[in-house]
Structure 1
Amino acid sequence: MKNLLVVGLMIMSGFVFGQNINDTLRQLNQEPLISGKKIKPYPLSKKGQIFVFYGWNRDAFSNSDIHFTGNGYDFQLNNVQARDKPTKFGIVYIDPSWFTVTQYNFRIGYFIKDNLALVLGIDHMKYVMKQEQTADFSGTISDPKYAAMVQNGQVNLADTEFLTFEHTDGLNYENLGLEKYKNLIHKRNIDLVWSYGAGIGVMFPKSNIKLFGNERSDRFHVAGMGTDLRSSLNLVFWKNWMIRAEAKAGYINMWDIKTTLNNKPDKARQDFVFVQALAGIGYTFNTKKYN
Protein backbone atom coordinates (compact mmCIF):
# COMPACT_ATOMS: atom_id res chain seq x y z
CA MET A 1 0.00 0.00 0.00
CA LYS A 2 2.85 2.35 0.83
CA ASN A 3 4.43 1.78 -2.58
CA LEU A 4 1.13 2.43 -4.35
CA LEU A 5 0.71 5.66 -2.40
CA VAL A 6 4.20 6.81 -3.40
CA VAL A 7 3.44 6.09 -7.04
CA GLY A 8 0.17 7.98 -6.87
CA LEU A 9 1.75 11.02 -5.21
CA MET A 10 4.57 11.20 -7.75
CA ILE A 11 2.19 10.96 -10.71
CA MET A 12 -0.11 13.58 -9.18
CA SER A 13 2.85 15.90 -8.63
CA GLY A 14 3.68 15.41 -12.28
CA PHE A 15 0.30 16.76 -13.26
CA VAL A 16 0.49 19.66 -10.81
CA PHE A 17 3.98 20.82 -11.74
CA GLY A 18 3.81 19.90 -15.43
CA GLN A 19 6.29 17.07 -15.16
CA ASN A 20 6.19 14.55 -18.00
CA ILE A 21 4.82 11.19 -16.82
CA ASN A 22 7.60 9.38 -18.70
CA ASP A 23 10.17 11.36 -16.71
CA THR A 24 8.34 10.38 -13.52
CA LEU A 25 8.46 6.73 -14.48
CA ARG A 26 12.16 7.01 -15.26
CA GLN A 27 12.71 8.29 -11.72
CA LEU A 28 10.88 5.27 -10.43
CA ASN A 29 13.44 3.21 -12.35
CA GLN A 30 15.69 3.56 -9.34
CA GLU A 31 13.10 2.65 -6.65
CA PRO A 32 10.91 -0.35 -5.89
CA LEU A 33 7.41 -0.18 -7.35
CA ILE A 34 5.07 -2.99 -6.36
CA SER A 35 5.87 -6.00 -4.18
CA GLY A 36 9.55 -5.05 -4.06
CA LYS A 37 10.02 -5.28 -7.83
CA LYS A 38 11.82 -2.66 -9.91
CA ILE A 39 10.94 -1.30 -13.33
CA LYS A 40 13.18 -2.71 -16.02
CA PRO A 41 15.86 -0.08 -16.85
CA TYR A 42 16.06 1.28 -20.36
CA PRO A 43 19.13 -0.15 -22.18
CA LEU A 44 21.50 2.04 -24.20
CA SER A 45 20.26 5.12 -22.42
CA LYS A 46 21.96 5.90 -19.11
CA LYS A 47 25.13 7.89 -18.55
CA GLY A 48 28.00 5.53 -17.81
CA GLN A 49 26.68 2.57 -19.79
CA ILE A 50 29.09 0.85 -22.20
CA PHE A 51 28.52 -1.41 -25.17
CA VAL A 52 30.75 -3.40 -27.52
CA PHE A 53 29.80 -4.67 -30.97
CA TYR A 54 31.27 -6.85 -33.69
CA GLY A 55 29.72 -7.37 -37.13
CA TRP A 56 30.17 -7.61 -40.87
CA ASN A 57 29.48 -5.22 -43.74
CA ARG A 58 28.68 -4.88 -47.43
CA ASP A 59 29.66 -1.71 -49.27
CA ALA A 60 29.15 0.21 -52.48
CA PHE A 61 31.33 3.02 -53.84
CA SER A 62 30.77 5.88 -56.26
CA ASN A 63 32.95 6.24 -59.34
CA SER A 64 36.22 7.97 -58.59
CA ASP A 65 38.89 10.02 -60.35
CA ILE A 66 42.31 8.63 -59.40
CA HIS A 67 45.36 10.87 -59.91
CA PHE A 68 48.82 9.27 -60.10
CA THR A 69 52.12 11.16 -59.75
CA GLY A 70 55.68 9.90 -59.71
CA ASN A 71 58.98 9.79 -61.57
CA GLY A 72 58.11 10.03 -65.26
CA TYR A 73 54.34 10.23 -65.01
CA ASP A 74 51.54 12.54 -63.95
CA PHE A 75 48.11 11.40 -65.08
CA GLN A 76 44.50 10.88 -64.01
CA LEU A 77 41.99 8.11 -64.67
CA ASN A 78 38.43 9.42 -64.62
CA ASN A 79 35.21 7.76 -63.42
CA VAL A 80 36.92 4.57 -62.29
CA GLN A 81 34.46 1.92 -61.09
CA ALA A 82 35.03 -0.18 -57.98
CA ARG A 83 33.28 -2.77 -55.80
CA ASP A 84 33.72 -4.41 -52.43
CA LYS A 85 35.12 -7.92 -51.95
CA PRO A 86 33.08 -9.94 -49.43
CA THR A 87 34.52 -13.22 -48.24
CA LYS A 88 32.52 -16.32 -49.10
CA PHE A 89 30.40 -17.32 -46.12
CA GLY A 90 31.96 -19.99 -43.93
CA ILE A 91 33.89 -20.70 -40.72
CA VAL A 92 36.09 -17.68 -41.42
CA TYR A 93 33.27 -15.42 -40.17
CA ILE A 94 33.39 -16.85 -36.63
CA ASP A 95 37.01 -18.02 -36.37
CA PRO A 96 38.88 -15.36 -34.31
CA SER A 97 42.19 -16.19 -35.98
CA TRP A 98 40.76 -15.12 -39.35
CA PHE A 99 38.58 -12.18 -38.37
CA THR A 100 40.55 -9.62 -40.44
CA VAL A 101 39.87 -11.58 -43.65
CA THR A 102 36.21 -10.58 -43.67
CA GLN A 103 34.73 -7.11 -44.12
CA TYR A 104 34.18 -6.46 -40.42
CA ASN A 105 33.14 -3.71 -38.03
CA PHE A 106 34.05 -3.13 -34.38
CA ARG A 107 32.45 -0.62 -32.02
CA ILE A 108 32.88 0.38 -28.39
CA GLY A 109 30.47 2.99 -27.08
CA TYR A 110 30.31 4.98 -23.85
CA PHE A 111 27.29 7.05 -22.81
CA ILE A 112 28.61 10.50 -21.89
CA LYS A 113 25.04 11.66 -21.15
CA ASP A 114 21.66 9.97 -20.98
CA ASN A 115 20.82 8.75 -24.51
CA LEU A 116 24.06 10.18 -25.98
CA ALA A 117 27.07 7.95 -26.69
CA LEU A 118 30.61 8.53 -27.86
CA VAL A 119 31.48 5.61 -30.15
CA LEU A 120 34.93 4.50 -31.26
CA GLY A 121 34.78 2.33 -34.38
CA ILE A 122 36.81 0.45 -36.97
CA ASP A 123 35.20 -0.14 -40.37
CA HIS A 124 37.25 -2.70 -42.29
CA MET A 125 35.92 -2.34 -45.83
CA LYS A 126 37.43 -3.64 -49.06
CA TYR A 127 37.74 -1.62 -52.26
CA VAL A 128 38.62 -3.25 -55.57
CA MET A 129 38.92 -1.42 -58.88
CA LYS A 130 36.95 -3.29 -61.53
CA GLN A 131 39.53 -4.62 -63.93
CA GLU A 132 37.26 -5.07 -66.93
CA GLN A 133 36.70 -1.41 -67.76
CA THR A 134 38.01 1.37 -69.97
CA ALA A 135 38.79 4.65 -68.24
CA ASP A 136 39.22 8.16 -69.60
CA PHE A 137 42.84 9.30 -69.41
CA SER A 138 44.42 12.73 -69.08
CA GLY A 139 48.04 13.60 -68.37
CA THR A 140 51.47 12.34 -69.38
CA ILE A 141 53.54 9.13 -69.21
CA SER A 142 57.19 9.25 -70.29
CA ASP A 143 57.69 5.49 -70.67
CA PRO A 144 56.74 4.71 -74.31
CA LYS A 145 55.58 1.18 -73.45
CA TYR A 146 52.83 2.36 -71.12
CA ALA A 147 52.13 5.57 -73.03
CA ALA A 148 51.26 3.37 -76.02
CA MET A 149 48.51 1.68 -73.97
CA VAL A 150 46.59 4.97 -74.05
CA GLN A 151 44.44 5.10 -77.18
CA ASN A 152 42.20 8.06 -78.09
CA GLY A 153 42.33 9.43 -74.56
CA GLN A 154 41.38 6.12 -72.95
CA VAL A 155 43.14 3.16 -71.40
CA ASN A 156 41.81 -0.39 -71.19
CA LEU A 157 42.44 -1.53 -67.62
CA ALA A 158 41.79 -5.17 -68.51
CA ASP A 159 45.52 -5.26 -69.25
CA THR A 160 46.70 -5.75 -65.67
CA GLU A 161 50.23 -4.78 -66.69
CA PHE A 162 49.13 -1.15 -66.69
CA LEU A 163 47.44 -1.07 -63.26
CA THR A 164 45.86 -3.14 -60.50
CA PHE A 165 44.39 -1.08 -57.69
CA GLU A 166 42.85 -2.32 -54.41
CA HIS A 167 42.42 -1.40 -50.77
CA THR A 168 41.70 -4.93 -49.63
CA ASP A 169 43.63 -5.38 -46.39
CA GLY A 170 41.69 -3.15 -46.26
CA LEU A 171 39.96 0.20 -46.70
CA ASN A 172 40.25 0.87 -42.95
CA TYR A 173 38.19 3.74 -41.58
CA GLU A 174 39.19 4.43 -37.95
CA ASN A 175 36.45 6.72 -36.68
CA LEU A 176 34.96 8.48 -33.69
CA GLY A 177 31.22 9.11 -33.69
CA LEU A 178 28.52 10.77 -31.62
CA GLU A 179 25.21 8.87 -31.51
CA LYS A 180 21.79 9.74 -30.08
CA TYR A 181 19.60 6.86 -28.82
CA LYS A 182 15.82 6.58 -28.49
CA ASN A 183 13.87 3.63 -27.10
CA LEU A 184 11.06 2.50 -29.42
CA ILE A 185 9.84 -0.68 -27.69
CA HIS A 186 10.28 -1.40 -23.97
CA LYS A 187 9.13 -4.84 -22.78
CA ARG A 188 10.28 -7.04 -19.93
CA ASN A 189 12.50 -9.28 -22.04
CA ILE A 190 13.15 -7.20 -25.14
CA ASP A 191 13.86 -3.63 -26.25
CA LEU A 192 14.14 -1.98 -29.62
CA VAL A 193 16.37 1.10 -29.67
CA TRP A 194 16.96 3.48 -32.58
CA SER A 195 20.12 5.55 -32.93
CA TYR A 196 21.41 8.16 -35.33
CA GLY A 197 24.60 10.17 -35.49
CA ALA A 198 27.73 11.16 -37.36
CA GLY A 199 31.41 10.30 -37.33
CA ILE A 200 34.82 11.42 -38.52
CA GLY A 201 38.14 9.63 -38.70
CA VAL A 202 41.34 8.72 -40.50
CA MET A 203 41.82 6.34 -43.41
CA PHE A 204 44.48 3.72 -42.64
CA PRO A 205 44.41 1.42 -45.68
CA LYS A 206 46.70 -1.40 -46.67
CA SER A 207 46.59 -0.74 -50.40
CA ASN A 208 47.50 -3.44 -52.92
CA ILE A 209 48.65 -1.48 -55.98
CA LYS A 210 50.78 -2.48 -58.93
CA LEU A 211 51.53 0.26 -61.46
CA PHE A 212 53.63 -0.13 -64.65
CA GLY A 213 55.02 -3.50 -63.61
CA ASN A 214 56.58 -2.16 -60.39
CA GLU A 215 56.71 -4.31 -57.29
CA ARG A 216 53.29 -4.33 -55.66
CA SER A 217 52.74 -1.76 -52.92
CA ASP A 218 51.27 -3.51 -49.89
CA ARG A 219 51.65 -1.65 -46.59
CA PHE A 220 49.57 0.15 -43.98
CA HIS A 221 49.64 3.91 -44.28
CA VAL A 222 47.60 6.90 -43.08
CA ALA A 223 46.30 8.09 -46.45
CA GLY A 224 43.56 10.60 -45.66
CA MET A 225 40.30 11.15 -43.82
CA GLY A 226 36.64 10.17 -43.90
CA THR A 227 33.33 11.28 -42.45
CA ASP A 228 29.92 9.65 -42.23
CA LEU A 229 26.27 9.78 -41.21
CA ARG A 230 24.84 6.63 -39.60
CA SER A 231 21.61 5.17 -38.22
CA SER A 232 20.98 1.86 -36.49
CA LEU A 233 18.33 -0.37 -34.94
CA ASN A 234 19.40 -2.26 -31.80
CA LEU A 235 17.43 -5.23 -30.53
CA VAL A 236 18.40 -5.78 -26.87
CA PHE A 237 17.42 -9.09 -25.26
CA TRP A 238 18.27 -11.12 -22.16
CA LYS A 239 19.08 -7.79 -20.43
CA ASN A 240 22.51 -7.35 -22.03
CA TRP A 241 22.77 -8.97 -25.46
CA MET A 242 22.25 -6.86 -28.55
CA ILE A 243 21.70 -7.45 -32.27
CA ARG A 244 22.57 -4.34 -34.28
CA ALA A 245 21.73 -3.44 -37.88
CA GLU A 246 23.22 -0.22 -39.19
CA ALA A 247 23.18 1.84 -42.38
CA LYS A 248 25.88 4.38 -43.12
CA ALA A 249 26.74 6.85 -45.87
CA GLY A 250 30.00 8.74 -46.00
CA TYR A 251 32.72 10.55 -47.88
CA ILE A 252 36.37 9.48 -48.13
CA ASN A 253 39.28 11.63 -49.33
CA MET A 254 42.70 9.98 -49.58
CA TRP A 255 45.42 12.28 -50.86
CA ASP A 256 48.46 10.16 -49.99
CA ILE A 257 48.01 6.60 -51.27
CA LYS A 258 51.36 4.83 -51.55
CA THR A 259 51.82 3.15 -54.94
CA THR A 260 55.34 1.73 -54.46
CA LEU A 261 57.13 -0.09 -51.65
CA ASN A 262 60.15 2.20 -51.62
CA ASN A 263 60.43 5.77 -50.35
CA LYS A 264 60.02 7.39 -53.75
CA PRO A 265 57.43 10.17 -53.96
CA ASP A 266 55.12 7.97 -56.07
CA LYS A 267 51.54 8.29 -54.85
CA ALA A 268 47.91 8.45 -55.86
CA ARG A 269 44.95 10.43 -54.62
CA GLN A 270 41.21 9.87 -54.90
CA ASP A 271 37.93 10.75 -53.24
CA PHE A 272 34.56 9.03 -53.36
CA VAL A 273 31.25 8.47 -51.59
CA PHE A 274 30.42 5.15 -49.96
CA VAL A 275 27.35 3.48 -48.52
CA GLN A 276 27.51 0.61 -46.07
CA ALA A 277 25.09 -1.89 -44.54
CA LEU A 278 26.26 -3.88 -41.53
CA ALA A 279 24.91 -6.25 -38.93
CA GLY A 280 26.26 -8.15 -35.96
CA ILE A 281 26.03 -8.85 -32.25
CA GLY A 282 26.97 -6.83 -29.18
CA TYR A 283 26.88 -6.73 -25.39
CA THR A 284 25.95 -3.93 -22.98
CA PHE A 285 27.65 -3.30 -19.63
CA ASN A 286 26.59 -1.38 -16.53
CA THR A 287 22.89 -1.99 -17.27
CA LYS A 288 21.26 -2.18 -13.84
CA LYS A 289 19.65 -5.43 -12.84
CA TYR A 290 15.94 -5.79 -12.03
CA ASN A 291 13.82 -8.42 -10.36
Structure 2
Amino acid sequence: MKKLFVLALFTGNFLYSFSQEKQKLFKGMYLQWGYNAESYTKSNIHFKMSNGNNFVLHNAVAHDKGDFDAIYKKPSQISIPQYNYRIGFYLNASHSKAIELNFDHAKYVVTDGQTVRVTGVIDGVQVNGDSVLNPDTFLHLEHTDGANWLHINYVQQKILLLTASKSRPLLTTVWKAGAGINIPRTDFTWRGERLNNNFHIAGYNIGAEAGLRLYMMRRIFFECTGKTGFVRYVNALACTPTQKGNRVTHSFGYAEAIATLGYDINW
Protein backbone atom coordinates (compact mmCIF):
# COMPACT_ATOMS: atom_id res chain seq x y z
CA MET A 1 0.00 0.00 0.00
CA LYS A 2 2.90 2.38 0.68
CA LYS A 3 3.95 1.97 -2.95
CA LEU A 4 0.52 3.13 -4.09
CA PHE A 5 0.73 6.22 -1.89
CA VAL A 6 4.18 6.96 -3.32
CA LEU A 7 2.82 6.58 -6.85
CA ALA A 8 -0.06 8.93 -6.06
CA LEU A 9 2.22 11.52 -4.46
CA PHE A 10 4.64 11.34 -7.38
CA THR A 11 1.86 11.75 -9.94
CA GLY A 12 0.24 14.58 -7.98
CA ASN A 13 3.58 16.34 -7.54
CA PHE A 14 4.30 15.99 -11.25
CA LEU A 15 0.93 17.49 -12.18
CA TYR A 16 1.35 20.27 -9.63
CA SER A 17 4.85 21.11 -10.94
CA PHE A 18 3.53 21.07 -14.47
CA SER A 19 0.68 23.37 -13.50
CA GLN A 20 3.11 25.86 -11.98
CA GLU A 21 4.71 26.14 -15.40
CA LYS A 22 1.33 26.38 -17.11
CA GLN A 23 -0.69 28.81 -15.03
CA LYS A 24 -2.77 29.67 -18.09
CA LEU A 25 -3.84 26.03 -18.35
CA PHE A 26 -4.84 25.26 -14.73
CA LYS A 27 -6.84 27.73 -12.61
CA GLY A 28 -6.58 25.94 -9.27
CA MET A 29 -6.65 22.48 -7.80
CA TYR A 30 -8.51 20.38 -5.24
CA LEU A 31 -7.85 17.40 -3.00
CA GLN A 32 -10.40 14.81 -1.84
CA TRP A 33 -10.43 11.88 0.57
CA GLY A 34 -13.30 9.60 1.49
CA TYR A 35 -14.78 6.11 1.55
CA ASN A 36 -16.89 3.83 -0.64
CA ALA A 37 -19.16 0.80 -0.84
CA GLU A 38 -19.63 -1.47 -3.88
CA SER A 39 -21.79 -4.13 -5.43
CA TYR A 40 -20.53 -6.31 -8.30
CA THR A 41 -21.96 -8.26 -11.19
CA LYS A 42 -21.24 -11.97 -11.49
CA SER A 43 -17.94 -12.90 -13.13
CA ASN A 44 -16.43 -15.77 -15.11
CA ILE A 45 -13.02 -16.22 -13.45
CA HIS A 46 -10.29 -17.99 -15.44
CA PHE A 47 -7.40 -19.58 -13.53
CA LYS A 48 -4.24 -20.60 -15.37
CA MET A 49 -1.86 -22.27 -12.91
CA SER A 50 1.76 -23.37 -13.11
CA ASN A 51 0.82 -26.94 -12.13
CA GLY A 52 -1.18 -27.36 -15.35
CA ASN A 53 -4.61 -26.56 -13.94
CA ASN A 54 -6.57 -24.42 -16.37
CA PHE A 55 -10.20 -23.85 -15.46
CA VAL A 56 -13.07 -21.31 -15.24
CA LEU A 57 -15.52 -20.53 -12.45
CA HIS A 58 -18.76 -19.51 -14.15
CA ASN A 59 -20.98 -16.70 -12.81
CA ALA A 60 -19.14 -16.40 -9.51
CA VAL A 61 -20.68 -14.02 -6.97
CA ALA A 62 -18.48 -11.49 -5.14
CA HIS A 63 -18.99 -8.82 -2.48
CA ASP A 64 -17.09 -5.86 -1.05
CA LYS A 65 -15.46 -5.61 2.38
CA GLY A 66 -16.00 -2.15 3.83
CA ASP A 67 -14.06 -2.52 7.12
CA PHE A 68 -15.65 0.77 8.20
CA ASP A 69 -15.37 -0.12 11.88
CA ALA A 70 -11.64 0.61 11.52
CA ILE A 71 -12.52 4.32 11.28
CA TYR A 72 -13.19 4.39 15.04
CA LYS A 73 -11.24 1.29 16.13
CA LYS A 74 -8.00 2.31 14.40
CA PRO A 75 -8.48 5.98 13.46
CA SER A 76 -4.78 6.48 12.72
CA GLN A 77 -4.93 3.86 9.96
CA ILE A 78 -7.24 5.65 7.57
CA SER A 79 -6.41 3.38 4.62
CA ILE A 80 -7.90 0.19 6.14
CA PRO A 81 -11.50 0.81 4.95
CA GLN A 82 -12.39 1.03 1.27
CA TYR A 83 -11.19 4.54 0.49
CA ASN A 84 -11.01 7.06 -2.37
CA TYR A 85 -8.79 9.99 -3.14
CA ARG A 86 -8.83 12.55 -5.95
CA ILE A 87 -6.30 15.18 -7.01
CA GLY A 88 -7.97 17.56 -9.43
CA PHE A 89 -6.92 20.55 -11.54
CA TYR A 90 -9.43 23.17 -12.68
CA LEU A 91 -9.33 24.10 -16.35
CA ASN A 92 -11.21 27.41 -16.08
CA ALA A 93 -11.65 30.27 -13.63
CA SER A 94 -15.26 29.34 -12.84
CA HIS A 95 -14.10 25.83 -11.81
CA SER A 96 -16.80 24.23 -13.95
CA LYS A 97 -14.29 21.97 -15.73
CA ALA A 98 -11.39 19.91 -14.40
CA ILE A 99 -9.22 16.87 -14.86
CA GLU A 100 -8.40 14.64 -11.91
CA LEU A 101 -6.31 11.73 -10.81
CA ASN A 102 -8.86 9.30 -9.36
CA PHE A 103 -8.03 6.29 -7.15
CA ASP A 104 -10.58 3.82 -5.77
CA HIS A 105 -9.33 1.37 -3.16
CA ALA A 106 -12.25 -1.03 -3.51
CA LYS A 107 -12.23 -4.59 -2.14
CA TYR A 108 -13.47 -7.56 -4.17
CA VAL A 109 -14.13 -10.86 -2.38
CA VAL A 110 -15.39 -14.00 -4.15
CA THR A 111 -18.02 -15.33 -1.75
CA ASP A 112 -17.10 -18.59 0.02
CA GLY A 113 -19.67 -21.38 0.23
CA GLN A 114 -21.35 -20.69 -3.11
CA THR A 115 -21.83 -23.40 -5.72
CA VAL A 116 -20.48 -22.56 -9.17
CA ARG A 117 -20.07 -24.45 -12.43
CA VAL A 118 -16.43 -25.27 -13.12
CA THR A 119 -15.09 -26.16 -16.57
CA GLY A 120 -11.56 -26.93 -17.73
CA VAL A 121 -8.73 -29.13 -16.46
CA ILE A 122 -7.89 -29.78 -12.76
CA ASP A 123 -5.24 -32.31 -11.73
CA GLY A 124 -5.04 -33.52 -15.32
CA VAL A 125 -8.75 -34.37 -15.44
CA GLN A 126 -11.32 -32.66 -17.66
CA VAL A 127 -14.07 -31.19 -15.46
CA ASN A 128 -17.52 -29.79 -16.21
CA GLY A 129 -19.76 -29.63 -13.16
CA ASP A 130 -20.69 -27.87 -9.96
CA SER A 131 -18.26 -27.25 -7.08
CA VAL A 132 -18.52 -25.46 -3.74
CA LEU A 133 -15.97 -22.70 -3.16
CA ASN A 134 -14.11 -23.59 0.02
CA PRO A 135 -10.57 -22.31 0.81
CA ASP A 136 -9.57 -25.56 2.54
CA THR A 137 -10.70 -28.01 -0.14
CA PHE A 138 -10.76 -25.89 -3.29
CA LEU A 139 -9.95 -22.17 -3.49
CA HIS A 140 -10.59 -18.63 -2.32
CA LEU A 141 -9.91 -15.41 -4.24
CA GLU A 142 -10.04 -11.75 -3.23
CA HIS A 143 -8.55 -8.41 -4.22
CA THR A 144 -8.68 -6.96 -0.71
CA ASP A 145 -5.49 -5.03 -0.32
CA GLY A 146 -7.27 -3.31 -3.07
CA ALA A 147 -8.88 -3.99 -6.40
CA ASN A 148 -7.22 -0.58 -6.86
CA TRP A 149 -8.59 1.31 -9.86
CA LEU A 150 -6.37 4.25 -10.83
CA HIS A 151 -7.58 6.45 -13.66
CA ILE A 152 -7.80 9.94 -15.11
CA ASN A 153 -11.20 11.64 -15.10
CA TYR A 154 -12.67 14.54 -17.00
CA VAL A 155 -14.91 16.49 -14.60
CA GLN A 156 -17.71 19.01 -15.08
CA GLN A 157 -19.48 20.97 -12.36
CA LYS A 158 -22.63 23.13 -12.49
CA ILE A 159 -23.95 25.49 -9.82
CA LEU A 160 -27.38 24.63 -8.40
CA LEU A 161 -27.52 27.05 -5.47
CA LEU A 162 -25.57 30.11 -4.32
CA THR A 163 -25.11 31.24 -0.74
CA ALA A 164 -27.55 33.82 0.64
CA SER A 165 -25.02 36.55 -0.10
CA LYS A 166 -24.63 35.27 -3.70
CA SER A 167 -20.87 35.43 -3.18
CA ARG A 168 -20.04 31.77 -3.86
CA PRO A 169 -21.54 28.38 -4.76
CA LEU A 170 -23.34 26.46 -2.03
CA LEU A 171 -24.49 23.35 -3.93
CA THR A 172 -23.33 22.05 -7.30
CA THR A 173 -23.86 19.00 -9.47
CA VAL A 174 -20.76 17.16 -10.60
CA TRP A 175 -20.15 14.40 -13.13
CA LYS A 176 -16.97 12.58 -14.10
CA ALA A 177 -15.85 10.02 -16.67
CA GLY A 178 -12.50 8.36 -17.21
CA ALA A 179 -10.36 5.29 -17.71
CA GLY A 180 -7.15 3.84 -16.36
CA ILE A 181 -5.33 0.83 -14.93
CA ASN A 182 -5.85 -1.73 -12.16
CA ILE A 183 -3.10 -2.30 -9.56
CA PRO A 184 -4.52 -5.08 -7.38
CA ARG A 185 -2.99 -7.07 -4.57
CA THR A 186 -4.67 -10.44 -4.89
CA ASP A 187 -5.08 -12.72 -1.87
CA PHE A 188 -5.34 -16.30 -3.16
CA THR A 189 -5.84 -19.63 -1.37
CA TRP A 190 -5.49 -22.98 -3.12
CA ARG A 191 -6.49 -26.03 -1.05
CA GLY A 192 -5.56 -24.34 2.20
CA GLU A 193 -2.31 -22.78 0.98
CA ARG A 194 -2.55 -18.98 0.99
CA LEU A 195 -0.48 -16.05 -0.30
CA ASN A 196 -1.24 -12.34 -0.40
CA ASN A 197 0.45 -11.52 -3.70
CA ASN A 198 2.38 -8.40 -4.67
CA PHE A 199 0.87 -5.23 -6.12
CA HIS A 200 0.80 -5.65 -9.86
CA ILE A 201 -0.50 -3.76 -12.91
CA ALA A 202 -3.07 -6.29 -14.04
CA GLY A 203 -5.66 -4.70 -16.31
CA TYR A 204 -7.80 -1.70 -17.11
CA ASN A 205 -11.05 0.01 -16.14
CA ILE A 206 -13.55 2.60 -17.31
CA GLY A 207 -16.03 4.47 -15.13
CA ALA A 208 -18.58 7.27 -14.90
CA GLU A 209 -19.61 9.13 -11.74
CA ALA A 210 -22.24 11.75 -10.83
CA GLY A 211 -23.59 13.43 -7.72
CA LEU A 212 -23.66 16.56 -5.57
CA ARG A 213 -20.99 18.77 -4.03
CA LEU A 214 -21.89 20.87 -0.96
CA TYR A 215 -19.56 23.80 -0.19
CA MET A 216 -19.74 24.05 3.59
CA MET A 217 -17.09 26.79 3.46
CA ARG A 218 -15.48 28.68 0.62
CA ARG A 219 -12.72 26.11 0.18
CA ILE A 220 -14.10 23.03 1.96
CA PHE A 221 -16.73 20.82 0.35
CA PHE A 222 -18.49 17.51 0.89
CA GLU A 223 -19.13 15.37 -2.20
CA CYS A 224 -21.56 12.47 -2.47
CA THR A 225 -21.62 10.54 -5.75
CA GLY A 226 -22.69 7.31 -7.38
CA LYS A 227 -20.37 5.57 -9.80
CA THR A 228 -20.57 2.70 -12.24
CA GLY A 229 -18.04 1.10 -14.52
CA PHE A 230 -16.36 -1.95 -16.03
CA VAL A 231 -13.17 -3.61 -14.78
CA ARG A 232 -11.01 -6.12 -16.65
CA TYR A 233 -8.14 -8.08 -15.05
CA VAL A 234 -5.96 -9.75 -17.67
CA ASN A 235 -3.15 -11.23 -15.53
CA ALA A 236 -3.79 -10.81 -11.79
CA LEU A 237 -1.25 -12.71 -9.66
CA ALA A 238 -2.64 -15.76 -7.83
CA CYS A 239 0.47 -17.54 -6.60
CA THR A 240 0.92 -19.58 -3.41
CA PRO A 241 4.13 -20.18 -1.41
CA THR A 242 4.82 -23.36 -3.42
CA GLN A 243 3.27 -22.37 -6.76
CA LYS A 244 4.57 -19.47 -8.78
CA GLY A 245 3.32 -18.11 -12.07
CA ASN A 246 -0.41 -18.55 -11.43
CA ARG A 247 -2.59 -15.98 -13.21
CA VAL A 248 -6.24 -14.95 -13.06
CA THR A 249 -8.30 -13.33 -15.79
CA HIS A 250 -11.80 -11.97 -15.24
CA SER A 251 -14.04 -8.95 -15.64
CA PHE A 252 -17.10 -7.47 -13.96
CA GLY A 253 -19.28 -4.42 -13.71
CA TYR A 254 -19.77 -2.50 -10.48
CA ALA A 255 -21.93 0.11 -8.76
CA GLU A 256 -20.22 2.28 -6.15
CA ALA A 257 -21.41 4.80 -3.55
CA ILE A 258 -18.76 7.38 -2.58
CA ALA A 259 -18.57 10.08 0.09
CA THR A 260 -15.53 12.38 0.21
CA LEU A 261 -14.35 15.56 1.89
CA GLY A 262 -12.53 18.03 -0.35
CA TYR A 263 -10.42 21.17 -0.23
CA ASP A 264 -10.05 23.77 -2.99
CA ILE A 265 -6.69 25.44 -3.61
CA ASN A 266 -7.23 28.54 -5.74
CA TRP A 267 -4.51 30.32 -7.69
TM-score by length of 2: 0.82
For the 8 Å contact 2:135–2:191, the answer to whether it is kept is: no
For the 8 Å contact 2:38–2:63, the answer to whether it is kept is: yes
Structure 2 residue aligned with 1:282, among 257, 262, 265? 262
Structure 1: which 5+ runs fail to align? 1-45
Aligned to 2:184: 205
Structural mapping, 1:116-265, within 5 Å: 116-142=97-123, 153-158=129-134, 160-187=136-163, 188=165, 191-261=170-240, 264-265=244-245
Structural mapping, 1:8-27, within 5 Å: none
C-alpha displacement of 1:261: 4.9
For the 8 Å contact 2:70–2:81, the answer to whether it is kept is: no
1:65 and 2:44 equivalent? yes
TM-score by length of 1: 0.75
1:99–1:93: structure 2 CA closer, same or farther, 3 Å change rule?
Answer: farther
C-alpha displacement of 1:161: 2.6
C-alpha displacement of 1:216: 1.8
* Equivalent AA in structure 1 for residue 136 of structure 2: T
Provide the alpha-carbon RMSD of the alignment.
Answer: 2.3
Deviates more, 1:215-224 or 1:233-242: 215-224
3-state SS, counterpart of residue 99 of structure 1: coil
3-state SS, counterpart of residue 169 of structure 1: coil
C-alpha displacement of 1:94: 7.8
Identity %: 29
Q: Distance in 2 between matches of 1:60 and 1:122?
A: 17
1:122–1:159: structure 2 CA closer, same or farther, 3 Å change rule?
Answer: closer
Number of aligned positions between the proteins: 236
1:67–1:84: structure 2 CA closer, same or farther, 3 Å change rule?
Answer: same
Q: Distance in 2 between matches of 1:107 and 1:94?
A: 23
1:258–1:51: structure 2 CA closer, same or farther, 3 Å change rule?
Answer: same
Query: Which protein shows a greater Rg?
Result: 1
